Structure 1
Amino acid sequence: MKPHLKKIILICALVMPFFAFKAAAQQTVPASRTVITGTVSDATDKDPVPYATVLFKGTGIITKTDVDGKYTISTSEAHTQLQISYVGYKTSYVTVKPGETQVVNVKLQSESQKLTEVVISSNKRPAYRNKNNPAVELIRKVIENKAKNQNKNYDHVEYQQYEQMLFSLSNLSEKFQNKRIFKNYQFLFEKQDSTKIGGKLTLPVFMEEKVSQVYLQKSPDKKKTIITGDKHVNYDSKFIDTEGLSKYFERMYADINIYDSNISIVSNQFLSPIADSAPTFYKFFITDTIKTHSPQLIELSFIPRNNSDLLFEGKIYITMDGNYAVQDAFLTVNKNINLNFVRALEAKLDFDKNPDGRYHLSKTNLIIDFGINKNKGGGFTGQRTVKFNNYKINNPQPDSVYRGAALVVNAQAGLRSEQFWDSQRQNDTLVGANLKIYKNIDTLQTIPSFKRTMDIVTLFFAGYKDFGPFEMGPVNTFYSFNSVEGFRLRLGGRTTPALSKRIYFETYGAYGFKDEKWKYFLSGTYSINNKSIYAFPQNFVRASFQRDTKIPGQELQFVQEDNFLLSFKRGENNMMTYNDIYKIDYTKEFENHFSYGLSFRKWTQKPAGSLGFYSFNADNMVTPIDKINTTELTVNLRYAPYEKFYQGKVYRTPIIDKYPIFNLRYTAGLKGVLGGQYNYHNFMASIDKRFYLSQFGYTDVTVEGGYILGKVPFPLLTIHRANQTYAYQLMSYNLMNFLEFVSDHYASIMIDHNFNGFFFNKIPLLKKLKFRELVSFKALYGGLRNENNPNTNPSLFQFPKNEQGVSTTNALSSTPYIEGSVGVGNIFKLLRVDMVRRFNYLDNPGVSEWGIRARVKFDF
């Protein structure tokens, strides 16, 4: 090792013990770490003792055993005695060897053995009960006093917030580091204490720092966040959406407020240990009294009643000054928890005292380690540290502070100097140890082999191959098939910012070998705000022309029809249309996530396959219609407060949260304009919302309704979204056939509930498999007025019929269409399988009452 590297390692070992490197053992000065692991158990019944205190005697180097009685403690100082204690047991002292890694198992003797009289007792511990339990009585006091100990209790609160997010490949082996592919990247690897979460070797890949000024007002309830500093690793946008990645990490590592009933972590909600219902789901134990602190603190440890439920375990420190406030908290999870890929989770919350004697959150540190293998192998470790400074209470701000959007980014936020960031970090070694990642990633992106690797990764996950100013894809559409076109080949792509930052072109060409027809698409987009058309907030105008086939009623945001995997369909599905669409769009998004879109479309539809357009003339003779011409003007309004998403190459992937999404669409048919044949007004509104139900999982609900004014043929009615593939589609009716139901007025509700394993966790085999139970319910009520029903108005286009002359397209009667499913999710941590049942309209031709559908769904 080079001399200057040895100096760096020695300095780190002295000033940053939590990030200390292993140094060579020395006889005079023990620079090597003493690392001790082991289990603390009851000497009589051999049961593990959870949350026992383990420390090096006479020091503040301390830890606690976990729920299984296991512990790890380490130091670089020369200490030779370990002290282990727990309420109800005699304190034990064990001699250890400094500078070595060793296993020390400890058996604690019951305190009752000090008594002189004979005590007859059972070796079996009494059953845990809430009644007459001082720990439960204490937590109920905490719950009773929650309201006055929260930020919301103050009329006004303001503070400055510094946060740092670090994400690393972790627990990497020396063999992995020395692989040939990393020959030029050795500068990226970092070594750390092997006892820390993430293992001894990490490769930092993402880092972000933010500084915000936050203002809170109680009445009326208002919050204003002004981001004054923003610094993060910048990847090439053609490979990674850095901003989207940041939003995704923010959702996984959300702010932790122990006073909330439910705490969001890794897209799940955990019941807080001080929630109103906490005594029902947790066991509480008084494990220590800290008299040296003012006010005196009680250490309250807690574990789940069922160790595989989405619950925390850990300890909280309660002030005994009449406020019963949380002064500090340590949260972790049991290894048996039904949480995918999470190998370890730790959250530390620190509180400071306000002038009025109450406490506010001053610092949080959340670390989560992910891996496919629970016990070994490489993985990912994320760490988010948040510090709250300059905390002020009851300092009113003028109304002007709260005007405008709730979140505002200062124009200079991304341009702050290093002096600014140094002052915000406040010489914190925890947040300062990782700063070289900025330079490392910039260097990494200049290495040709890294660029080649990212090209391959982008092709595999996003489906595009980059050629500089043009990228080709998506690859999953190159080959598909259907009953009308037969074997279909398609090739396309789009320009990149390397050609122009403001002007984008997209195109594809396709050919069907059965119908022997060419299909093609061409669009040009101009970015008005000089940003990528995919970057938030969008502001662009687009003109396009498309000639292609389409299944009536299927919209691209629900089904990508030429996706190869969706070519496999059940039943008959040979009714399609050939479409010529000329279109001009304008889209405008705002920082508050309100957006509107204007669209002008000239649309020609021609029947294809077994679909035909027919009506009866005055002589009651069948008259075939070659095509339908429509001209439409559409206005779309959308509001998605606090929405977060990851922007892929084409689509945005929403990061679903508790906030609703509102949509309103109005389309006007313009007769006589550019050949349009019909006047009509089409209204549609929808609301999407996720409801979190604590230990019972979460429910996704979509409510939608629509109404069409005017007389139109059935291709222009609302053709309800059906699914004839074998994939389970959340927003479609999975046992409804294509073009089976049409309406000019309708209302629908879709409910999808995930129990997150609440019931399966109580069944031993299923608990081990970590399966999750799901149920869904979908109902559609609608109908046709007489003016739009060909069964009562022969002059309209007649509904399609099968070879037996039975109509395959129908209007809903007074009975709603209903289907439901029960499913098992998290199979191999990726697969969801549902058994779907259709409850009515079973006499319609070609329908199925039951079906098995599968969906690939990545969950934590």
Structure 2
Amino acid sequence: MKRNIDWKTQWILRVIVILFTMHCSLFTAYAQHTISGQIVDAKTGEPIPFASAQYLGHGVGVASDIDGNFSIVRHNGWQLTFTSVGYVSHTVQINSGIKNVIKIALKTDNKMLKEVTIKTKRGRYSRKNNPAVEMMRKVIAAKKQTDLDNRDYYQYNKYQKITLALNDFKPEVLDSPKYKKKQWLIDQIEACPYNNKLILPISVDETVSQKIYRKKPHDEKIIIKGINTQGINDLFQTGDILNTIMKDVFTDVNIYDDQIRMLQYPFTSPIGKDAIGFYRYYIEDTLMVDKDLCYHLHFLPNNQQDFGFRGDLYILADSSWQVKRCEMTIPKKSDVNFVENMQVVQEFTQLPDGDWVLSVDDMFTELKLANFLQKFAVIRNTRINDYAFDELPKQLFKGTKKEVKDVNAMMRSDEFWNQYRQVELTKAESQMDQFVNGMQNVKGFKWVLFGLKALVENFVETGTKKHPSKVDIGPINTMITKNIIDGIRTRISAQSTANLDSNLFFRGYVARGWNSKKWYYKGDVIWSFNKKEYLPREFPQRTLTFSSTYDVMSPSDKFMHTDKDNVFTAFKWSKVDKMMFYNRQSVTFEREEDWGFRTTLSMKLEENEAAGGLYFIPMSYSSDRSTWTNWSNPIPTGADASAYTPSQKIRTTELRAELRFAPGETFINTKQRRLPINLDAPVFTVSHTLGLKDVLGGQYSYNYTEGSIYKRFWLKSWGKMDFNIKGGIQWEKVPFPLLIMPETNLSYIVQDYTFEAINNMEFPTDRFLSGQVNWDMNGKILNRIPLLRKLKWREWIGFRVLWGELSDKNNPYKDHNIGNPILMYFPEGSYVIDPKRPYMELSLGLHNIFKIIHVEYVRRLNYNELPTAHKHGVRFMVRATF
């Protein structure tokens, strides 16, 4: 657009006048009289901020404040001129008839303004007496007035399109022989309007939804009307993972929120309640946006390495102080990983009642995962329209589910999409099917796809696109591992899919220990009360599971968050020779509600047989072999047969109930397990286990109660803290296998929310309270150190504490328990923790090494006098974050 010299000159003069006024203020103390007042809009009566009051020709002038107030030295005989962009100037002759307090009303200039670009040299930034800051205070205060949640009812329709593309193809590459023979590939490449580069769209996901809201009683729902997904997602049975993650990472933006969740991090909004302290603001100019006069402000973080935005706000130049348009990007110096470029554009539209609402929300992101990999681009277009505020029928809010999918959402016709599609598909997006077919016809592609599926999904399908897999083989990473009992151990696993039956599922494995020469197995039969798209664990899970297992494990294996046969966790920092064989049958009912509440009821029968260096020896043990019943006779490796130790098998029958509440938790379903992707949700869990004696062979009566709380707290630019508190009580007298064992991790691979330096069964207790806090500082310190900050490493601190007590009734070292038939001798390496001396350990870590490596140094802070203690250790894991 052309620059308007008159307006440019006026803004330059305004800056000069303000600076000159600041200089002259040192010499005006002698003035006995001033003229003060307020400059307002003649039509609306609203104050006009930053208007000028000048004695033209005398070099004296001031600017009004955010509320239109001004004060200037009185000079009788001079002419005082009031001006503001978009208004007709007004001149007053200063004489004895003019009062010291006046009100000036300026009329709107109906002449259409052209865009003005003013560039001024910015001095040292200060929030004090800063017109831009004062304006932003008004904007932040005014945002409450147009909050849609103030309405009794509202609804709107939203169309969203997310496109994933390979980015930055060079024209010379397309001229190479290997591309010339693939016309289907060349036809898919197109120019991107956001960066003027050539891109190759590989997937497109469209969603049409309706948001409905009711204030009293409060309720809101999202009704999914239509879903259309095309592209490489179709090649993966779990292709919805890609769309789910992209929607979570590149989520909708609402600058009226105090924190904007993006890239799975909260970014401070430029108009959030903490924005004044986080950002710097500069008034650039005043211009027309469409038909509305707006103030143009530029903003950027105080420290551009923090997770924040840089961009421009266009604020309506009226009393509403509403945002008309917002343009944001991530500063180049920001420590955000993988993002080379990000653009966010939002536009707001005025409703007939005068309120302003979001209508356009577009995002474009360029990603580079590694130098040797092709770059990616993600394009998200969102359009919101059809706002209405009429009373909504009560039946629309029936049920607790926050998101409801129309039964026909996946089968919408072209007529539906022609009606609701607000952003047209590009040529490449509209011919996605031809592109996928072209890929499948490439020689050797099916083997490449086979390898990718095995790597990404950890499972191998047994079907084809025409005949979808009814049984998947995996997990791949459990096929071979080792332990002290079996030596090398091999395993083959499989699970059925909804392609076989959408309600009835089967899964299990068969394993072989080559040293022990034992066969192991597990078989599950699962009935899902709601039909599934692929696997029974899909949310909401409502299943009845019958399970039978015979296997070997370490007591600490139950605390692992992955399969105990995972080859990567087979390497231990401590010798794990205390094992046990278990024969377990169970039936479990699980029901999840749409609002985050889960109920679990189970019944379990189990027989345990000690193995390796573990023995179940009752305190009543007698050397008279004729008194032994239900005993096995393991012989320690290398020991004489006459020196073997007797070990009793134990049998338990138990009922268990668990209640879990995690409001707002969201998941992705992999073929191996279900993973939460939104860890911001608090998690509350309480459970009780009842042991039944003389029921189906159960030998012990016991009651065990446990509860836990998890919560994540974001600390703005200081990263995030995760807190996990857990406590439990074993109420009865029980043998040590039924006592409470600390949740320890004996692997070199980090397992979240476990102790990293406690040995296997080191501190048996019958009541405990543990606390764990992990602080990811997000590079707050390291990224401010010269040279070192180029590495983009991030600090991580973990602290774990365990308060425990072993009551006298369960302490085998107490004299009154000698000969007790219920209690057992503690295994070697188990100790009684001092209830007045909690166990503590500290972890100091670095993550984001090469953007994917997390390394921790673990220091055990006390109980180091124990002969089995490991005072130091190093743990690591692969963890990629933005």
Shift in Å, 1:441 = 4.1
> What residue identity is the alignment partner of 1:578?
F
Relative to structure 1, the CA distance from residue 222 to residue 495 in structure 2 (aligned partners, 3 Å threshold; closer, same or farther) is closer
Give 1:406's match in structure 2, choosing from 402, 425, 433. 402
- The corresponding residue for 2:666 is 644
Relative to structure 1, the CA distance from residue 739 to residue 550 in structure 2 (aligned partners, 3 Å threshold; closer, same or farther) is same
Contact 2:439 2:445 in 1 (8 A): yes
Shift in Å, 1:659 = 1.7
Give 1:575's match in structure 2, choosing from 573, 578, 590. 578
Contact 2:201 2:428 in 1 (8 A): no
Partners of 2:569 and 2:279 lie apart in 1 by 46
Contact 1:545 1:581 in 2 (8 A): yes
Partners of 2:478 and 2:837 lie apart in 1 by 39
Contact 1:522 1:545 in 2 (8 A): yes
> What residue identity is the alignment partner of 2:382?
V
Give per-residue Cα distances to partners, 1:347-371, cap 9 Å, x unaligned. Answer: 0000011334331111100111111
Matched, 1:473 2:474: yes
Shift in Å, 1:586 = 3.0
Partners of 1:278 and 1:603 lie apart in 2 by 58
Report the number of matched residues: 745
- The corresponding residue for 1:392 is 388
Secondary structure at 1:570 match in 2: coil
> What residue identity is the alignment partner of 2:250?
Y
Matched, 1:600 2:619: no
Give per-residue Cα distances to partners, 1:31-90, cap 9 Å, x unaligned. Answer: xxxxxxxxxxxxxxxxxxxxxxxx5x499xxxxxxxxxxxxxxxxxxxxxxx99997599
> What residue identity is the alignment partner of 1:207?
V
Shift in Å, 1:270 = 1.1
Partners of 1:520 and 1:717 lie apart in 2 by 27
Secondary structure at 1:203 match in 2: strand
Secondary structure at 2:753 match in 1: coil
Partners of 2:211 and 2:326 lie apart in 1 by 23
Shift in Å, 1:597 = 2.9
Higher mean C-alpha deviation, range 438-447 or range 641-650: 438-447
Partners of 1:85 and 1:613 lie apart in 2 by 92
Residues 744-763 of structure 1 correspond to what in structure 2 (within 5 A)?
A: 744-763=766-785
Q: CA RMSD in A?
A: 3.3
- The corresponding residue for 1:371 is 368
Matched, 1:798 2:799: no
Larger Rg: 2
Residues 472-511 of structure 1 correspond to what in structure 2 (within 5 A)?
A: 472-497=473-498, 499-511=500-512
Relative to structure 1, the CA distance from residue 254 to residue 168 in structure 2 (aligned partners, 3 Å threshold; closer, same or farther) is same
> What residue identity is the alignment partner of 2:306?
D
Shift in Å, 1:511 = 2.7
Residues 628-639 of structure 1 correspond to what in structure 2 (within 5 A)?
A: 628-639=650-661
**TM-score after normalising by structure 2:** 0.78
- The corresponding residue for 2:794 is 772
Secondary structure at 2:429 match in 1: coil
Matched, 1:192 2:190: yes
> What residue identity is the alignment partner of 2:512?
Y
Shift in Å, 1:632 = 1.9
Relative to structure 1, the CA distance from residue 446 to residue 217 in structure 2 (aligned partners, 3 Å threshold; closer, same or farther) is farther
Give 1:283's match in structure 2, choosing from 280, 283, 286. 280
Contact 1:630 1:676 in 2 (8 A): yes
Partners of 2:210 and 2:743 lie apart in 1 by 46
- The corresponding residue for 1:135 is 132
Shift in Å, 1:398 = 4.3
Partners of 2:10 and 2:476 lie apart in 1 by 61
Secondary structure at 2:419 match in 1: helix
Contact 1:544 1:582 in 2 (8 A): yes
Matched, 1:687 2:709: yes
Relative to structure 1, the CA distance from residue 616 to residue 85 in structure 2 (aligned partners, 3 Å threshold; closer, same or farther) is farther
Give per-residue Cα distances to partners, 1:429-488, cap 9 Å, x unaligned. Answer: 477873333564477568785443321101123332333354333232222222232222
Matched, 1:830 2:831: no
Shift in Å, 1:657 = 3.8
> What residue identity is the alignment partner of 1:161?
K
> What residue identity is the alignment partner of 1:544?
S
Relative to structure 1, the CA distance from residue 447 to residue 530 in structure 2 (aligned partners, 3 Å threshold; closer, same or farther) is farther
Contact 2:189 2:201 in 1 (8 A): no
Give 2:539's match in structure 1, choosing from 523, 536, 540. 536
> What residue identity is the alignment partner of 2:602?
S
Contact 1:711 1:787 in 2 (8 A): yes
Give per-residue Cα distances to partners, 1:84-129, cap 9 Å, x unaligned. Answer: 9997599xxxxxxxxxxxxxxxxxxxxxxxx999xxxxx9963222
Matched, 1:455 2:445: no
Give per-residue Cα distances to partners, 1:395-419, cap 9 Å, x unaligned. Answer: 3334443332222222232232211
- The corresponding residue for 1:74 is none
Shift in Å, 1:685 = 2.3
Relative to structure 1, the CA distance from residue 478 to residue 433 in structure 2 (aligned partners, 3 Å threshold; closer, same or farther) is closer
Shift in Å, 1:828 = 0.3
Contact 1:295 1:321 in 2 (8 A): no
> What residue identity is the alignment partner of 2:491?
R
Partners of 1:129 and 1:790 lie apart in 2 by 69
Shift in Å, 1:182 = 10
> What residue identity is the alignment partner of 1:276?
K
Shift in Å, 1:694 = 1.8
Shift in Å, 1:718 = 1.9
- Structure 2 unaligned blocks of 5 or more: 15-56, 60-119, 464-469, 629-645
Matched, 1:421 2:417: yes
- The corresponding residue for 1:297 is 294
Give per-residue Cα distances to partners, 1:254-278, cap 9 Å, x unaligned. Answer: 1211111111111111111112222
Give 2:677's match in structure 1, choosing from 630, 655, 669. 655
Give per-residue Cα distances to partners, 1:271-325, cap 9 Å, x unaligned. Answer: 1111222232222111120157655210001122222111100100011211211
- The corresponding residue for 1:170 is 167
Give per-residue Cα distances to partners, 1:523-554, cap 9 Å, x unaligned. Answer: 33344434232433333333232211111143
- Structure 1 unaligned blocks of 5 or more: 1-54, 60-82, 91-114, 118-122
Relative to structure 1, the CA distance from residue 525 to residue 237 in structure 2 (aligned partners, 3 Å threshold; closer, same or farther) is farther
Contact 2:191 2:199 in 1 (8 A): no
Residues 714-729 of structure 1 correspond to what in structure 2 (within 5 A)?
A: 714-729=736-751
Give per-residue Cα distances to partners, 1:169-190, cap 9 Å, x unaligned. Answer: 2223457766869966834853
Partners of 1:751 and 1:415 lie apart in 2 by 47
Partners of 1:481 and 1:510 lie apart in 2 by 11
Relative to structure 1, the CA distance from residue 721 to residue 735 in structure 2 (aligned partners, 3 Å threshold; closer, same or farther) is same
Relative to structure 1, the CA distance from residue 243 to residue 472 in structure 2 (aligned partners, 3 Å threshold; closer, same or farther) is closer
Contact 2:839 2:863 in 1 (8 A): yes
Give 1:214's match in structure 2, choosing from 211, 214, 223. 211
> What residue identity is the alignment partner of 2:432?
I
Matched, 1:151 2:145: no
Partners of 1:442 and 1:744 lie apart in 2 by 61
Partners of 2:218 and 2:786 lie apart in 1 by 46
Give 1:585's match in structure 2, choosing from 563, 567, 588. 588
- The corresponding residue for 1:563 is 566
Give the % identical residues.
31
Give 2:379's match in structure 1, choosing from 337, 362, 383. 383
Contact 2:735 2:810 in 1 (8 A): yes
Relative to structure 1, the CA distance from residue 85 to residue 155 in structure 2 (aligned partners, 3 Å threshold; closer, same or farther) is farther
**TM-score after normalising by structure 1:** 0.80
- The corresponding residue for 1:66 is none
Secondary structure at 1:678 match in 2: coil
Partners of 1:311 and 1:85 lie apart in 2 by 34
Give per-residue Cα distances to partners, 1:747-789, cap 9 Å, x unaligned. Answer: 2222112121122222122321111111112222232332222
Secondary structure at 2:248 match in 1: helix
Relative to structure 1, the CA distance from residue 525 to residue 377 in structure 2 (aligned partners, 3 Å threshold; closer, same or farther) is closer
Relative to structure 1, the CA distance from residue 236 to residue 529 in structure 2 (aligned partners, 3 Å threshold; closer, same or farther) is farther
Shift in Å, 1:607 = 0.7
Secondary structure at 1:167 match in 2: strand
